[in-house]
Amino acid sequence: MNKKALLVVSFGTSYDETRKKTIDQIEMDLSKTFPEHEFRRAWTSQMIMNKIKKRDGIHINNPTEALEKLHSEGYDEVLIQPTHIINGSEYEGLYHDLLNFKDKFKSISIGNPLLTSMEDYKKVAFAMSTIFPKDTDDKLILLMGHGSEHHANSAYPCMDYVFNEEGYSNVYIATVEGFPDLDTFFSQTVSNPTKNILLIPFMIVAGDHIQNDLVGDEKDSWKNILLSKGYNVDSIIIGMGEIQEIRDIFIEHAKKARQLNVES
């Protein structure tokens, strides 16, 4: 019988509490979906892995290390599911790493990131709505995404548009490191008299960006910038990985994973 492995690849986080609720939960759901596969973990952020190693003495494999180990242990089939949101540099780097292993296994397959098809965008809009308060007529909901210099950053303005098209006209996305940003949000809402804002993460884990850049105590956190402009600010700090409907999309993508081959 072929030896099968499931490799779940995440960016990673040094915040243990949010990791348990997000990355760990995604991994658990995927493991239950593919019980015939041996579960393995890999992260792509070397900076975070170095921090975990220094702080906790725990080594977490990067994708190349994980695949080398699986090959040395005689695995035949590998299913890889990333927990990345967009098809950006992290996913692109992962995909190119996999090409070095495509002839070392009988089969190696990879699922898509969260936002890949237009259907994904609609499902994510609904999934996020499950954590919105029932009455949001007097609120603007601002989601913080990571953002990227990669061209896949276009997923964020697309997601912003889809929210509006799906009937969530008071929902906006801004990013820390891309477009749209917080200034974009201000320009979009300049004529809106609503002064109540609800901040919510649009990241798989509620880690450093959320704890510091979104709701931190520093003057330049989004919370404090909004407060300084006269807004009433509230927040729901839930990583996207805590939402069952988000995890279900990753499961769907794993089930539809495409196999790499010599022509990849």
Give the residue numbers annotated as catalytic, written as ranges.
146
Q: Are strands 196-201 and 140-145 parallel, antiparallel or unpaired?
A: parallel
H helix runs in the chain, sequence order = 16-21, 23-33, 46-56, 63-72, 89-99, 118-129, 155-165, 182-188, 208, 222-228, 244-255
> Does 242 count as an annotated binding residue?
no
> Does 253 count as an annotated binding residue?
no
Cα Rg, the chain, nearest whole Å: 19
Secondary structure of residue 235 in the 3-state scheme: strand
> Does 209 count as an annotated binding residue?
yes
Strands of the 140-145 sheet, one edge to the other: 171-175, 140-145, 196-201, 232-235
Distances in Å between the Cα of 205 and the Cα atoms of 47, 64, 185, 188, 216 are: 16, 23, 22, 27, 16
N residues, the chain? 264
Known binding-site residues for Co(2+) equal 146, 177, 209
